[in-house]
């Protein structure tokens, strides 16, 4: 079983729709939860990060973490064509002073005008 599972999609929705991207994980030691966005032919860039259960909002984006269910989500409101990208969840933990970050497979999202 993979430590982090993410539906690879692809996911295609109309402009203005609410998008939900999800990841599950098996390692209860994960302390930090991140979402990276990767545009075509670019490297990933950090979109949001949180370390506790609950919701964190940043503009049209909301990151949700449920540690009891080992489940994280990214919601995008009023989706725009510029949101079209691959979204990667990532989970982190410190082990003996070293950083361990595990990425999901990525979900490819297309917002249609």
Partner 1 sequence: DVKVTQSSRYLVKRTGEKVFLECVQDMDHENMFWYRQDPGLGLRLIYFSYDVKMKEKGDIPEGYSVSREKKERFSLILESASTNQTSMYLCASSPRRAANSPLHFGNGTRLTVT
Q: Which of 7, 22, 56, 103 binds partner 1 (CB under 8 A)?
A: 103
Residue whose CB is less far from partner 1, 17 or 48? 48
Q: Which of 21, 35, 44, 87 binds partner 1 (CB under 8 A)?
A: 44
What 3-state class would DSSP assign to 83? Answer: helix
| Alpha-carbon dihedral 49, 58, 21, 33, rounded to 10 degrees | 10
Residue whose CB is less far from partner 1, 19 or 33? 33
The encoded tokens of residue 37 equal 């966005």
Cβ proximity of 15 and 113 under 8 Å: yes
- Pick the piece of the chain touching partner 1 (CB under 8 A) from 52-60, 64-72, 74-82, 90-98: 90-98
Q: Which of 51, 53, 78, 112 binds partner 1 (CB under 8 A)?
A: 51
Does 26 engage in binding with partner 1 (CB under 8 A)?
no
> Is it true that the peptide bond before 58 is cis, omega within 30 degrees of 0?
no
Q: How many CA atoms lie within 13 A of 92 on its CB side?
A: 14
Chain residues in the site for partner 1 (CB under 8 A): 4, 6, 8, 31-32, 34, 36, 41-46, 49, 51, 88, 92-94, 97-101, 103-106
């Amino acid at each position: 079983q993979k430590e982090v599972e993410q539906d690879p999609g692809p996911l295609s929705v109309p402009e203005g729709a609410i998008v939900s991207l999800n990841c599950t994980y098996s390692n209860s030691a994960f302390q930090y939860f991140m979402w990276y966005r990767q545009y075509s032919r670019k490297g990933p860039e950090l979109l949001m990060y949180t370390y506790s259960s609950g919701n964190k909002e940043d503009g049209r984006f909301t990151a949700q973490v449920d540690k009891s269910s080992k489940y994280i989500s990214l919601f995008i409101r009023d989706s725009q064509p510029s949101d079209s990208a691959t979204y990667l969840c990532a989970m982190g933990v410190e082990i003996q002073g070293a950083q361990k970050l595990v990425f999901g497979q990525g979900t490819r999202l297309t917002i249609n005008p």
